[in-house]
A and B are shown apart, each in its own frame.
Chain A
Amino acid sequence: MNDAMDFLLWARGTAFDVALTIFIIGVIIRLFEILSLGRPRSLAEPKGNQLLPGMKSVISRTLPDNGTFKRQPLTVIAGYLFHIGLLISLLLFIPHIELFNATVGFGWPGLPNPIVDAATVIAITGLLAALWNRLTNPVMKLLSDKEDYLVWLLTFLPLLTGYLAYHRMIEPYPLALGLHILSIELLLILFPFTKLMHTFTLFLARWYNGAMSGFRGVQS
């Protein structure tokens, strides 16, 4: 009778604690694993600065170059739709902000729900387009392994369950909310051990690329 509420309590309690713990430990391990390998300082005479071009690349790689966009508009657009939609629904939905507030001790203003709702639809559309692309684009098809599809699913489920819970399309509500939270826990647990890590490491990668180019006086 009360299974749904028990499930929600478990998802909000024990399961969340476990998932968050694995996530934090895992991410730190991964970052240590990467940074411990170091990068030897070059003895060549620099032609430019490393820090600023590195920082610039961190930001500039967010925008595609024109040629790439023209050749693969679907990859670029689906990527934008998904990432922007995800960031809005993840970071600007009031209940989520309350969660961050409880975890890190500070919050920020959110967006009205109808906007977040639209962002979620956009993110889901983007993800579906990305999956279609992955299944049909010969390059992506060849590159993709099981992990790529797993990561897709791990990202898709929280968006889907969140949407269904918000619109009360799963009953009872505690079950819907519980499923949503559980799907995020699944994501958190697998995050450090999959390509989801790119969320953090892309800043390192972009910085290294920009810094190494900057050292040689190249705009990257």
Chain B
Amino acid sequence: MDTNTKTLGEALRRNGVTRRGFLKFCTATASMMALPPSMVPAIAAALEQARRPSVIWLSFQECTGCTESLSRSHAPSLENLIFDHISLDYHHTLQVASGEAAEAAREAAMHANEGAYLVVVDGSIPLGNPGYSTIAGFSNLQTLEETVAGAVAVIAVGTCASFGGLPKAYPNPTGAVSVSDIVTDKPVINVPGCPPIPMVITGVLAHYLTFGTLPELDHYGRPKAFYGTSIHDRCYRRPFYDKGRFAHTFDDEGARKGWCLYKLGCKGPMTYNACATAKWNQGTSWPVESGHGCIGCAEPDFWDAGGFYNALSVPTGEISRNASYAIAAGVGVGAIAAGINQRTRNKAVRQHAEVTIEDLEKR
């Protein structure tokens, strides 16, 4: 494993990355993690000296979209290089080895880096029936528990690993659960998104490499640096929301003018992710910029959150229908109540005993 002895700086220079380009990356990373500019030299120094950590990547009930997202790039990027630089000792999709050799690589990495390796998981774990998803004859649960035992931390990449994701969507046929539902004795960093932004995962790695610690997490176990603000609060269309200018259909004037997509079901207000600032495909664009509302993919149960095209504030039930039934029922019960009231009063009128001057005094 001689690659492990090389520092990140050496590897980057060997791949033709200039000092200037490296510092630029450090600056971008610092800003993504909301660190002050004064931290840039420290980050650079730390990354320069960082050793490649061993990473074991486990794929369970997933679609490979997360790997696609993290590995794809048309031109080599710094994110890719960082990603390439880690010692990825096990990854179904990317590794050359297969069958027993592949499993042997995983075990070797686990032994060699006992207590120091990172486990990255994409995909959810089926608890309904272990047979739903197996690797080399082992259930995902077995593989996960075994692999995690000697790890320093687990990074759950993608919404499936973080929160159960699509496999867990109603009615959750496989009994899918998230990594953190299983792993409770190790730090679990959730990097949700369907898929997550490449820079977010490299940012988490950069943080780990720089500081040797895990980043600060929110209540969902997500790094605050990337998931600290909502899409809505960082959205370039936000001024339109505040001014009350909305697209009502995908092809109306508002849509053409780039007004807010709230009424078209944008889940930006409840979704915490860095899309609005980091963007996708080397900063080309992101969903809202391309004219579609956020679907909230970095949030738990986003698939069942009331429909992608219903405004967030609209209840999920059939309200108009329910309201008409309720009106009908109200009129029915109301008529009964009215009848009772009339009967009560008519009875009182019938029972009226004329008051005469003889009756005024209480006897």
Is the CB–CB distance between B301 and A95 below 8 Å? Answer: no
Is the CB–CB distance between A2 and B300 below 8 Å? Answer: yes
Is the CB–CB distance between B219 and A96 below 8 Å? Answer: no
Nearest-neighbor residue (CB-CB) of B263 within chain A:
A98
A11 to B360, CA, bound (A): 58
Is the CB–CB distance between B319 and A112 below 8 Å? Answer: no
What number of A-B contacts does a CB cutoff of 8 Å give? 149
A72 within 8 A of B: no
Is the CB–CB distance between B315 and A102 below 8 Å? Answer: yes
Measured between C-beta atoms, what is the minimum distance from A6 to chain B in Å? 7
Contact bitstring B314-354, A, C-beta under 8 A = 1, else 0: 11110110110111011101110111011001000000000
One of B263, B299, B316 near A13 (C-beta < 8 A): B316
One of A96, A104, A168 near B230 (C-beta < 8 A): A168
Contact bitstring B258-283, A, C-beta under 8 A = 1, else 0: 00001100000110100000000000
Contacts of A173 in B (CB 8 A): 230, 269-270, 272
A12 to B306, CA, bound (A): 8
One of B263, B270, B272, B333 near A177 (C-beta < 8 A): B270
Contacts of A35 in B (CB 8 A): 338
B140 within 8 A of A: no
A28 within 8 A of B: yes
One of A4, A28, A114 near B327 (C-beta < 8 A): A28
Contact bitstring B237-265, A, C-beta under 8 A = 1, else 0: 00001111010000000000000001100
Is the CB–CB distance between B330 and A27 below 8 Å? Answer: yes
A13 to B330, CA, bound (A): 21
One of B220, B304, B313, B331 near A98 (C-beta < 8 A): B313
B10 within 8 A of A: no
A42 within 8 A of B: no
Contacts of A36 in B (CB 8 A): 337-339, 341-342
Contacts of A27 in B (CB 8 A): 330
Measured between C-beta atoms, what is the minimum distance from B216 to chain A in Å? 14
Interface residues on B, range: 35 or more
Query: In chain A, residues 172-215, which have Cβ atoms closer than 8 Å to a Cβ of chain B?
Result: 172-174, 177, 181
A110 within 8 A of B: yes
Query: In chain A, residues 61-83, which have Cβ atoms closer than 8 Å to a Cβ of chain B?
Result: none
A111 to B304, CA, bound (A): 30
Is the CB–CB distance between A20 and B164 below 8 Å? Answer: no
Is the CB–CB distance between B320 and A33 below 8 Å? Answer: no
Contacts of A26 in B (CB 8 A): 330
Is the CB–CB distance between A112 and B262 below 8 Å? Answer: no
Query: In chain A, residues 96-142, which have Cβ atoms closer than 8 Å to a Cβ of chain B?
Result: 96, 98-99, 101-105, 109-114
Secondary structure class of chain A's binding surface, majority of residues: helix
B47 within 8 A of A: no
A85 to B51, CA, bound (A): 59
Measured between C-beta atoms, what is the minimum distance from A13 to chain B in Å? 4
One of A9, A28, A37, A113 near B306 (C-beta < 8 A): A9
One of A1, A4, A6, A111 near B180 (C-beta < 8 A): A1
Query: In chain A, residues 146-185, which have Cβ atoms closer than 8 Å to a Cβ of chain B?
Result: 168, 171-174, 177, 181
A174 to B306, CA, bound (A): 12
Contacts of B230 in A (CB 8 A): 168, 173
One of B218, B262, B305 near A9 (C-beta < 8 A): B305
Contact bitstring A1-42, B, C-beta under 8 A = 1, else 0: 110111011001110110011011111110111011100000
A94 within 8 A of B: yes
Is the CB–CB distance between B300 and A37 below 8 Å? Answer: no
Is the CB–CB distance between B306 and A95 below 8 Å? Answer: no
B311 within 8 A of A: yes
A-B contact sample (14 more), CB < 8 A, given A36-B338, A94-B263: A12-B316, A17-B322, A21-B322, A21-B329, A24-B327, A25-B334, A32-B334, A33-B338, A36-B337, A37-B342, A101-B314, A104-B320, A174-B299, A177-B312
Question: Which positions in A face B, CB cutoff 8 Å?
Answer: 1-2, 4-6, 8-9, 12-14, 16-17, 20-21, 23-29, 31-33, 35-37, 94-96, 98-99, 101-105, 109-114, 168, 171-174, 177, 181
Question: Which positions in B face A, CB cutoff 8 Å?
Answer: 163-164, 178, 180-181, 218-220, 230, 233, 241-244, 246, 262-263, 269-270, 272, 299-301, 304-306, 310-317, 319-320, 322-323, 325-327, 329-331, 333-335, 337-339, 341-342, 345
25 pairs, A vs B, C-beta closer than 8 Å: A1-B180, A5-B299, A5-B301, A5-B305, A8-B305, A13-B316, A17-B315, A20-B315, A20-B319, A21-B326, A24-B326, A24-B327, A26-B330, A29-B330, A29-B337, A31-B334, A32-B338, A33-B341, A94-B244, A95-B313, A98-B263, A98-B313, A111-B244, A168-B233, A174-B270
Can you list the 3 inter-chain pairs with the closest CB atoms, starting with the nearest? A28-B330, A36-B338, A32-B334
